[in-house]
A and B are shown apart, each in its own frame.
Chain A
Amino acid sequence: MKKEDVLKTLHEISMDPFPYLESKREKGFKIIGSPLADVPSELIHAAGLMPVTILGTNRPIVKAGGHLPDNACSLSRSNLELVLNYQPRSFDGFVFPQVCDTTQHLSDIWKMTISSEFFASFLIPRQVDRPSARHWFYAETRRLKEQLEAYTGNPFGREALEESFSLYNEARRLLRKIYGIKRKNPAALSNRQLFDLIRAFCYMDPRDLIPMLETMTENLPKEKAEDENVRVVLSGIVVEPSQLLDILDELGVSIVGDDLTVGTRMIAYDVPEAEDPLEALTARHFDKSPFSPIRDVGTRLYDHLLGLFETTGADGIIFFHIKFCESQDYDLPDLKHIMRERRIPMIVLDTEYQSVTKAQTKTRLEAFIESLYGERENG
């Protein structure tokens, strides 16, 4: 496969993974979907199942509105819509994480409206800084493992887990390498292409993805290249719709870092080696960068983004706010204040999966990027 073919294939999967998932199903895999939020895919994979992170749909909301009010976040409504309406037969089961009010109650709605062979809640600790959080994550991971085993009828142990850990770690390593190449040489691949790869990682078996990523890394230019573009850090949970990344490409922007959940947070944290594989998954969970719905230590949520901005030498920050994400709604006023005080240019974009304000968003982005170019010229 050539590099161009890999990019094309992964772009297609990133936009519509269901033909790929159907082919996995034909090979005997059961498809297990999880809404976004820290479900350990490795565990599901080690059970011999096909884990998929559900990343919503950009198609119109038709049925979800009858179950979730319009002040539920765009991510939850579009996830429900995807599974209820557009892909009702594409999943065999679900592992459903709960991190906020919306995910907790969506879990109830999901169970009642979507039939599946398997449903497990994954109750993530919503605090990270006390020993109890680790004990709970471990206990919950063990409970999930037992549920998966009961579903498949096949107990699995250290060997299967370590194989899945190393496959996912390898896919993440390659993605980080590609991100690094892009950072050194932004023209090596577009912003959109980079994030297409990360989305594909959410959807694919690493056994299928790794050879493609190897092709990519072998064929991307390794040398450092001068970059005239303005450099930005992306912040938030997801960039939706993905076409927003195309706009960044059109405007001559280089992404040099991000704290996105579907982004660096997805690929930066490998499962370490440990005596006990579940302990290894636990350790990885607590290595992760902050996630808005989870109470972190002090002001780490903001400090992490400030650190990223400084270490990448970025010119500005683009924050993607998901419409009606309450978590981000509470974080943003203080975040804006901090950035203003430090004179760090930041724009907050209100985004929605079924975006109707694309033209307006584009205009705002254009103005922001122009101002970054302006600041650079004025030193």
Chain B
Amino acid sequence: MGETKQMTAKELSKRLTKTYYEGAKHAHEQGKFIAYTTAVSPAELFYAHDVIPIYPENHSVMMITHRMTAELSESIERKGYTSHLCAYARSDLGFRELHKSPIGGIPDPDFLLACNAQCFTLTKWFEVLSRRYDAPLFVFDTPQFIRDKKAREEIIKYVMEQIYEMIEALERLTGKKFDFDRLREVIEYSRQASILYKKYLDLASYKPSPISIFDALINMAITVYLRGTPDAVEFYRLLIDETMENKVKKGIGVIPNEKYRLYWENLPIWFKFRDHFNLLASYGAVILTSLYVHAWSYDFDPSDPVRTLAENYASVFSNVELEERAEMALDLFKRYSLNGNLMFLNRSCKAVSFAVHELRDIITKKTGVPALVFESDMGDPRFYSESQIRTRIEAYLETLDQLSYDRERGLRD
């Protein structure tokens, strides 16, 4: 442990990621099982049962940031898949055709878990994989977490029953009895990591903000695939200490002359986020947060393990009604003093994108902050129009400039 103390958070993240993927690569040789799972899912069950969870979505992000998606996608379009499916799914299915990956690939699954709180696409994508590998698929069904007290109790009951079914399925798969004490322990690690992760995200409420959403996105990966382990806890502790020490205490912002603190709606355009950061910074603008990065800000109670898993995973932002989702976003506007709103309509992600116009109406009405809605794709450069998006972002920032000029002179409310 002494050695890791001297590491930077970035180095530790790199090492943890390497160890995790190496471990997965050799899992089968060591008699361990591999479960594919979705980013928002009760992965604690896997860690508690010594099954290695693998997240094809994370792997797809790596392929996207390495600009491999167009080639991978074309390989499966030739097989009859359409180019308007989720870019994660297309990258993943393409990887299975071409065997190309920036990390040498991920191992095949013994079991698949698709939690539909995130989206329904994952179920269909995992169905394809389940057929391909003849591996059982468990759909962890989380009905929309509608705002009705009685309905919510019923939903939690249904989701809890499925957790017990999932445990039985794991016992069948491994031939090993499930250990609930171990589950409590794993959830305790998840609890700590989630609190620290949220604390890290909330550093964006400082003025100037020491982090942008791009830092959040880079550092999010650890809680996605290592929550439930002590490594994730250690990582976020180090990351917060480092950011406090190097930035907050010195009053250093992530950009100089911070003027516009922006909200970002949807997943990022993964292959463009550095360009966007630079473009925005030249206007004194920085994106600070989104509901997406907060999807892993869980609040676990290890004393009631099955209920706490059900409650946390059913209530993620993509699975609540639109009014509640808007309230979650408005809470971020308030807590982070946001004064700009970029709303990305992501062709890849129907689940998060479809009600964006209604969401904009609510947020704009409540905050008075104008919003830019623009369409593109999170992973496929073929659907990204550089000049058009750049022009629109620039025009939007000029609107914010004009607004702030008018407000300073009392020409507007």
Query: Which residues of A are interface residues toward B (Cβ below 8 A)?
Result: 66-69, 71-72, 98-102, 104-109, 111-113, 121, 123, 125-127, 130-133, 135-136, 139-140, 143, 293, 295, 299, 324, 326-327, 329-334, 336
Contacts and interface: CB of A to CB of B under 8 A. Distances in A.
A139 B351 contact: no
B123 interface: yes
B151 interface: yes
B39 to A, nearest CB: 16
Contact of A106 (B85, B165, B354): B354
Residue among A101, A104, A109 with the most chain B CB within 10 A?
A101
B120 A333 contact: no
A4 to B, nearest CB: 44
A334 B154 contact: no
B124 A143 contact: no
B79 interface: yes
Given A107-B144, A139-B157, A333-B81, 17 more contacts: A101-B350, A101-B351, A108-B321, A108-B322, A111-B321, A121-B146, A126-B139, A127-B139, A132-B158, A132-B161, A135-B158, A135-B161, A136-B154, A326-B350, A330-B81, A330-B85, A332-B80
B22 interface: no
B353 interface: yes
Contacts of A143: 150-151, 154
A132 B162 contact: yes
Contacts of B355: 105, 108-109
Interface residues of B, number: 46
Given A67-B358, A123-B143, A143-B151, A333 B80 contact: yes
B161 A326 contact: no
Interface string B278-316: 000000000000000000000000000000000000000
Interface stretch (B58-66, B125-133, B221-229, B404-412): B125-133
A330 B158 CA distance: 27
B375 interface: yes
B121 interface: yes
Given A126-B141, A139-B154, A326 B162 contact: no
Contacts of B128: 330, 333-334
Contacts of A131: 161, 165
Interface in B135-155: 137, 139, 141, 143-144, 146, 150-151, 154-155
Nearest to B154: A139
Contacts of B353: 69
18 contacts: A66-B357, A69-B354, A71-B347, A71-B350, A72-B354, A102-B354, A104-B120, A105-B350, A105-B354, A108-B322, A108-B358, A109-B355, A125-B143, A136-B141, A326-B124, A329-B81, A330-B124, A331-B124
A121 B155 CA distance: 13
A136 B143 contact: yes
Contacts of A101: 119-121, 350-351, 354
B13 interface: no
Interface in B63-97: 76, 79-82, 84-85, 89
Nearest to B86: A326
Closest A-B pairs by Cβ, 7 of them: A330-B124, A123-B143, A333-B80, A105-B354, A108-B322, A132-B161, A101-B351
A61 to B, nearest CB: 15
B116 interface: yes
Contact of B354 (A68, A125, A295): A68
Contacts of A132: 141, 158, 161-162, 165
Residue among A72, A104, A112 with the most chain B CB within 10 A?
A104
A143 to B, nearest CB: 6
Nearest to B321: A108
Contacts of B157: 139
B345 interface: yes
B355 to A, nearest CB: 5
A115 to B, nearest CB: 14
B358 A329 contact: no
B141 A127 contact: yes
Contact of A72 (B82, B151, B350): B350
B358 A293 contact: no
Given A143-B151, A330-B125, A126 B131 contact: no
A72 B150 CA distance: 31
A263 to B, nearest CB: 22
Contacts of B146: 121, 123
Contacts of A72: 350, 354
Nearest to A67: B357
Nearest to A108: B322
Nearest to B169: A130
B123 A126 contact: yes
A290 B34 CA distance: 29
Contacts of B345: 69
A129 to B, nearest CB: 9
B138 to A, nearest CB: 8
Contacts of A111: 321-322
Nearest to A73: B350
Contacts of A333: 76, 79-81, 128
Contacts of B131: 299, 334
